[in-house]
């Protein structure tokens, strides 16, 4: 990092403006990526919920069925 003691006020302000623009652009990129990721999760949420419900239901039937057969 460049020491700020040797810089004039105009140079300091210009440097801060550049960093501000860079940070703003970086935050916009992060926001776009998070929005895209959120959209993907929401797109597949219903399908994944159905798969999880089906697997857990089949597993419950298997466990109860095995228990029933052992007691019989």
Is residue 15 a contact partner of residue 7, using CB atoms and an 8 Å limit? yes
Distance in angstroms (rounded) separating the CA atoms of residues 61 and 71? 15
* Cα–Cα dist 62/54, whole Å: 12
**Average pLDDT, integer, range 7-22:** 92
- The average confidence (pLDDT) of the chain is 89
> Does residue 2 surpass a pLDDT of 70?
no
Q: What is the pLDDT of residue 66?
A: 86
Q: Which residues contact 2 (CB under 8 A, 6 or more apart)?
A: 15
Which pLDDT tens digit goes with each residue over 28-55? 999 999 999 988 888 888 888 899 999 9
């Amino acid at each position: 990092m460049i020491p700020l003691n040797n810089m004039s006020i105009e140079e300091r302000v210009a440097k801060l403006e550049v960093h501000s623009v860079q940070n703003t652009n970086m935050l916009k990129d992060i926001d776009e990526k998070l929005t895209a990721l959120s959209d993907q999760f929401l797109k597949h949420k219903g399908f994944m919920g159905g798969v999880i419900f089906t697997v857990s239901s089949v597993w419950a039937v298997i466990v109860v069925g095995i228990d029933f057969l052992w007691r019989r």
